[in-house]
Amino acid sequence: MTDLPVAETPSGTRAQLRLDTASWPVRAAQGIRETLGYGIGYALPFYFARSAKPVDPEPLWRLITTRQPAPVQSLIDAWPPGPRRERILRRFLEPSHAEGIEYHYDVSNDFYALFLDRRFMFYTCADFNAPGETIEDAQLNKANHILSLLDPKPGERIIELGCGWGSMMKHIHAHTGDSENLSGLTLSHDQLAYVRGTLGLNAELGDFITRDYGTETYDKIYSIGSFEHIKPDEVLPLYKRLHAALKPGGRAVFHFFSLNGTDRWPAAMVAAQAYFPGSTLSLHQDHLDWAGEAGFRLVHDSRHDYRPTLRAWFDRLAENRDKAHALVGVPVTNKYLVFFAASWTLFDLGKATLHRLVLMKD
């Protein structure tokens, strides 16, 4: 196949809101075509997103998260074939970072508020440390853990790469009382407006991946859930620029999930283009090797379970799906429910793991 389906090439803000519904025979035919071209993991979210009928959440969750027999899973993992997967993914990586970020995030802040925690609006893995904890409890646990890793102090120049809705910036500001030296970068216009207008914090619209940070500019640099958007060829150059940007003794804290194993172009990353066009994960070992090559010293690498967070988001969106339908429509709501279940399966199968790294500049 030489041309990417229309849904794969976002053309700016609100692209997901232009999903067209279709009758079941048309959806089935499109689903077969996309399965043959890009695999069932890619086809499934669009199959449900093209439906004008809301999905039934629990049957959908069981459909997507139930473990497949080993031969079936092996077939899913092997399609598209390896050399073709790399060609497909390299084509997907051609658009700008801004297009992919806008496609996923510039849907509606009010929509995200329906399922994210109400305290921070964190759209990243939480830490469920005890039975009965809510998503609010778990996100506070996560924020406190990252705060302890970063150890921010008043007067230190600190920047967040991909600041989202300013969740961690808000927490750091509450801890240090210093907002003047705290800043964030985002490619989402909706998130920028929220950080500046609602939180009153310093944020800038910019691509943290290609930015020049200067030399010995910052005391601390951190990122929560944005390294997943860095294209593999960009990771080492970024690590080098971030190392140069830190003052001697400076610290970087990165929270992100990365691929396990040795396959740099797995089928799961083709499927991920349905949600994050232009983004793909790198191998975790590659991250460690590249960070070391850039001059960083690794002092912390912890693993965390993303599955409880994804289930919590799924449940909360399911509970609020009537409001979601009114805000963004049935197709987008259906697609996000598929996204949470499919992401849960990615981690349940051990294909990726959430890590928190602390890197030091000596």
Per-residue DSSP letters for 157-209? -EEEES-TTSHHHHHHHHHH---TTEEEEES-HHHHHIIIIIS---EEE--TT
Q: pLDDT (tens digit, 0 to 9) for every residue of the chain, 362 residues total?
A: 323 333 333 333 345 555 678 898 999 999 999 999 999 999 999 999 899 999 999 999 999 999 999 999 999 999 999 889 999 999 988 876 666 656 655 577 889 999 999 999 899 999 999 999 999 999 999 999 999 999 999 999 999 999 988 999 999 999 999 999 999 999 888 889 999 999 999 999 999 999 999 999 999 999 999 999 899 999 999 999 999 999 999 999 999 999 999 999 999 999 999 888 888 999 999 999 999 999 999 999 999 999 999 999 999 999 999 999 999 899 999 999 999 999 999 999 999 999 999 999 99
For 144, list phi and psi in degrees, rounded to 5. -70, -35
297 DSSP assignment: E
Strand order in the sheet with 182-186: 203-205, 182-186, 158-161, 218-224, 246-259, 352-360, 297-304
Secondary element (H or E) of residue 37: helix 24-38
Q: How far is CA 222 from the centre of its chain?
A: 15
DSSP 69: P
pTM over the 0.75 mark: yes
Is cis: bond before 45, omega within 30 of 0? Answer: no
Cα 172 from Cα 155, distance rounded (Å): 12
The DSSP code sequence of 226-272 is -GGGS-HHHHHHHHHHHHHHEEEEEEEEEEEEEE-SS-SS-HHHHHG
Q: Hey, what domains does the chain have and what are their CATH numbers?
A: 6-96+307-348 (no CATH), 135-306+350-360 (3.40.50.150)
CA-atom Rg of the chain in angstroms: 20
Token pair 């240090």 in the structure block, residue: 176
| 3-class DSSP assignment, residue 300 | strand
Q: Are strands 182-186 and 203-205 parallel, antiparallel or unpaired?
A: parallel
Residue 283 DSSP symbol: B
